[in-house]
Amino acid sequence: MSDAQQFERPGDTLLVRAPAKLNLSLLIAGKRPDGFHEIETVMAKVDWYDEIRIEPGQTTAIEFFCEGPRWAPQDQSNLVYRAAEQILRETGQTRRVRLTLVKNIPAGSGLGSASSDAAATLLGLDTYLHLGLSQSRLVEMAARLGSDVAFFLNGPLACCTGRGETITELRDAFPFAALLILSDVNSSTKEVYAHYRHDPALYEQLHAKITALLNDNRVDSVARMCANMLQRSCFQLYEELGRRKETIEALDLGPVCLSGSGSTMFLLFDRGDTERLEVVREVLTKKTGGESTVVRNNRW
């Protein structure tokens, strides 16, 4: 689905696609005074999408429904509902809207789908209701919904710092394909961070190397480092993920990376290396029996 657009308009419905992301690197600089962790992460959108349908509502200000093969909360705790509630309240809108989330990307997988859904809701309602909100206003709303939400309002590749809400777009293209190794584990970002034990020496080492590579526009080299400082705490919490990584690495298929706080792991390939990617996928399916899917870098 690499050629899919973010917005489509079938009839009086606005269809908004919400892409998953991969953390190509993830460093923890330490803990902030506000209790959050200071992070430095390079994130890339990929062409696997949740979908949000926006239509005229009939009964209440926000009618919210969930469909699709994956679980998502179907109440007001869902970030789609919360994003809609926020944008309608802060812009004084009284039009009723019906929102249907089609959930294709698993929750708790380190792929950022809930944050992406929230960003897509903000963008979609801004478009659907002709609000004309500025980028800075949308980013302000996004930051109140979650640390990763602002990333999804921007381009396909960025370096994110602070809690994740400070975005520096990376303009150089990084075309890639990735084999996502999915898991039944619903990894808790809150718990992974709670169990994190900081390693200042490791941070300084990785920070220096990644900064130098980004200054040389070598995002490809950054990605192939598979630097994720949350990996240890994730695997301590979910030992089966650590064992799966060891099993895959023993197959000598290339570096195995963890996205975000887990649970998805991935292997990177050149975008056009379709033949090798399918061979690797077949080997993984045969040896591990787990679910996997192929994605490519998103273009928006």
Torsion, Cα 152 178 282 237, to 10 degrees, reads -70
Residue 2 has pLDDT above 90, yes or no: no
Q: Could you read off the pLDDT of 98-134 as tens digits, one per residue?
A: 999 999 999 999 999 999 999 999 999 999 999 999 9
Q: Could you read off the pLDDT of 213-256 as tens digits, one per residue?
A: 999 999 999 999 999 999 999 999 999 999 999 999 999 999 99
All structural domains of the chain: 7-169 (3.30.230.10), 176-296 (3.30.70.890)
- Average confidence (pLDDT) over 259-283: 95
Nearest to 23 by CA among 262, 185, 259, 253: 259
Torsion, Cα 225 218 135 112, to 10 degrees, reads -20
Using a pLDDT cut of 70, give the percent of the chain over it. Answer: 99
Which residues are catalytically annotated? 21, 148
Q: Could you read off the pLDDT of 24-76 as tens digits, one per residue?
A: 999 999 999 999 999 999 999 999 999 999 999 999 999 999 999 999 999 99
- Average confidence (pLDDT) over 186-198: 97
Q: Which pLDDT value is given to residue 23? A: 98
Question: Between residues 19 and 290, which one has the greater pLDDT?
Answer: 19
Q: Could you give the CA distance from residue 197 to residue 232 in angstroms, rounded to a whole number?
A: 9
